[in-house]
Structure 1
């Protein structure tokens, strides 16, 4: 309701107010700055500058001939070899070692993975095997089994802990516990 009232007040006598603003005397424009004589006029100095630009300057040309630029790629041979090996390794694929039965969450669509990568099921299986039998399933064996880099396999076993449940017992018997009633 309030917006209707404000709209009526705002639009009241709009045409007359607009005509009044339009018919007001316009403010005068600021005077232009006088031109200085340092700028070349169109017919006099402009042509001499153009001729000077197109003239041959022998001292500058001889200095330019002395300049020699040799450019080389800063990437070393070892880095390019490492990049090529990584690209070739990513192009190679291997079949999955483990997969889930049925079609849970669309995991059955994946049949192979690039070498150096793991599927979710393989990662969980490898981590579970390492947790249950760490002397048999060492990071080196995991790297060999799943075609991983040994450094990545070591990081996987060091920093990921699947199904790690810790139950913290109460500090003393005096601590109150909620009992089922």
Structure 2
């Protein structure tokens, strides 16, 4: 039944196909949109003498104005910041503590800017404050290493030096690392 229906549908689809095709081809084609008008083509613009003369002619009054212009810009915040940076770089302090030798072939630094710490000095300051907080107070650490009081207080409050805690086993049978 389906084959019969397909044949019947194809018959109506292909009926008079040639006439319908000729009618469609014979219809008037839609017109294309008009092109946008453009100004003179750059290639032809050099051929126009007025334009080429205007391009290559010196305009003396404009040259005089251009030579008289002098621009000097000042940014007060930038100038102050650059002065502060140069002053900080110039003022340096010698290291208080350093490693006895350079274990990894790293060149040992001899001084640091004021307000800064080397890693060795930071660890030493943290361990001194942890071991003897009465003698190594925030003020003394700040004075010793030329640091701001606020920064020193934050350093000693938020950074804790390395600490190893050995937790004993719950049973006597468990293996434990022996101290040598």
**Scaled by the length of structure 1, what TM-score is found?**
0.50
DSSP 3-state at the match of 2:135: coil
Q: 1:74 corresponds to which residue? A: 75
Calculate the aligned-residue CA RMSD, in Å: 4.3
Name which of 83, 86, 96 aligns with 1:84.
Answer: 86
Deviations 1:10-46 (A, max 9, x none): xxxxxxxxxxxxxxxxxxxxxxxxxx99537769943
Please identify the structure whose Cα radius of gyration is greater.
2
Shift in alpha-carbon separation, 1:38–1:79, aligned structure 2, 3 A: closer
Aligned residues: 131
> Which stretches in structure 1 are left out of the alignment for 5+ residues?
1-35, 169-176
CA distance in 1, matches of 2:159, 2:129: 11
Instruction: Report what 1:123 is aligned to.
Output: 122
Contact 2:127 2:161 in 1 (8 A): yes
Secondary structure (helix, strand or coil) at the match of 2:48 reads helix
Partner of 2:108: 110
Render the CA deviation track for 1:81-114: whole Å, top value 9, x for unaligned: 312211212xx341x433455x473599636221
Quick one: structure 1 residues 110 and 54, their matched pair in 2 at CA, closer, same or farther if it must change by over 3 Å?
Answer: closer
Unaligned runs of 5+ in 2: 1-37, 174-180
